[in-house]
Structure 1
């Protein structure tokens, strides 16, 4: 090979090396520019600041999560409506159960009913010491017995109403009540209780009152039981403030 040919070949190789070096440098500049872009923290356009705020704030994150559930699609909406209906039905059922429970509780707690006039029988106690002493004046008593003639247990307590009536019914005496305390008594079918009436008997021919009937109204009732009066005359104190003839409570 001649010397001139050798020189041209060397020049070509140097030129190629320089071109390759230039291409390498250009590629390095391009990579440096890309690396610098990532270092600045620039985010792609489809990642908005909304995501960043959601990540930095707990409240925003919670709100976003609820919003996502609400907008997750038709299935999520249907589930939400179904849950809402189920909750409403459950609440209604609870209310009905509560009201039913209250009604049942009231029925169960009512217990034994009071004694009604239609289920009672009344009579004067007339045996032995039950007969009032006609010589005792105002310190004697008589007893009226009340018997449960019904088929169920009942309760009775308080003051009965007692009116004395004359033979023709024209003169009526509503007896006063004492200040004694009382309590309820339970009467099973066939059981009896009584109450006493303080009497001011008299043998005088003036100022007396002769009853023919005793009209007894059980406590809290409006219907009465009528008994024939078996004893003598009473001192007429129908207009007295503190008569010696008065009614005591049952039991």
Structure 2
């Protein structure tokens, strides 16, 4: 074999070895890529760092969604509560109107819980010369231990010394409301009176029976003034009762 032939043979062997080496390296590279792809597509229930990361990511997503649902639910609940609170505030006697409502659940004033007296101060005395334009006042005081509500027309019956002559006073056409009396509080009503000094056609009361509105029992008080024009049979007497409140 010549020297040239020997050199060509050596070069072919070198090329084959080089090609074989490149082929082996390429095969190893393809195997590594294939293994990485398999690991990336592994099911979530397999153990391993990749699964743990995916599981952790899923949990975080679930918690975030849950927090959003809770916030939304809280907002809806608060809206409903506000609506109910607003509706409750509009109801009559409600707690938001005035810290419990002064008139809410308060019973009317009963005769047994009231005290009645004529106002007899210096300015309270009716003018005996004023005719039908003068008035006298009756003061009603809540002597009970609880608040009570009162309003409207009381009944007033004047009666003579022996009680034989009675006069049930007419009522005015004035409008009225109602008020709440706390224990010890007072209110009053007025009686228009036609006073007289004549010795004829007069009526001399000795007592007055005061019946609170919507009650049947009365409180008897002494009449502190003089004589009245006797108009017991008159259609429009000048002596009449005005309402409470």
- Structure 1 position 227, deviation (Å): 0.4
Counterpart position of 1:204: 198
Counterpart position of 2:140: 146
Counterpart position of 1:223: 217
- Structure 1 position 137, deviation (Å): 1.1
Larger of the two Rg values belongs to structure: 1
Task: Provide the aligned C-alpha RMSD in A.
Answer: 1.6
CA distance in 2, matches of 1:218, 1:212: 20
What's the secondary structure of 1:162's corresponding residue?
A: strand
- Structure 1 position 244, deviation (Å): 0.1
2:121 to 117, 127, 131: 127
- Structure 1 position 128, deviation (Å): 2.4
**Which residues in structure 2 correspond to 1:185-200 (within 5 Å)?**
185-200=179-194
Normalised by the length of structure 1, the TM-score is 0.56
Q: Which deviations, in whole Å up to 9, do the C-alpha atoms of 1:207-231 show, x marking residues without a partner?
A: 0000000000000000100000000
What's the secondary structure of 2:180's corresponding residue?
A: strand
- Structure 1 position 138, deviation (Å): 1.0
Which runs of 4 or more aligned residues in structure 1 lie more than 6 Å from their structure 2 counterparts after TM superposition? none
CA distance 1:142–1:173, shift in 2 (3 Å): same
Counterpart position of 1:111: 105
- Structure 1 position 110, deviation (Å): 6.4
Count of matched residue pairs: 145
Q: Which deviations, in whole Å up to 9, do the C-alpha atoms of 1:123-173 show, x marking residues without a partner?
A: 000112111111111111000000000000000000000000001111000
Unmatched segments (≥5 aa) in structure 1? 1-108
Normalised by the length of structure 2, the TM-score is 0.58
Unmatched segments (≥5 aa) in structure 2? 1-102
Instruction: Decide which structure has greater helix share.
Output: 1
Counterpart position of 1:72: none
Counterpart position of 1:250: 244
CA distance in 1, matches of 2:214, 2:172: 17
Counterpart position of 2:176: 182
Counterpart position of 1:44: none
Counterpart position of 1:168: 162
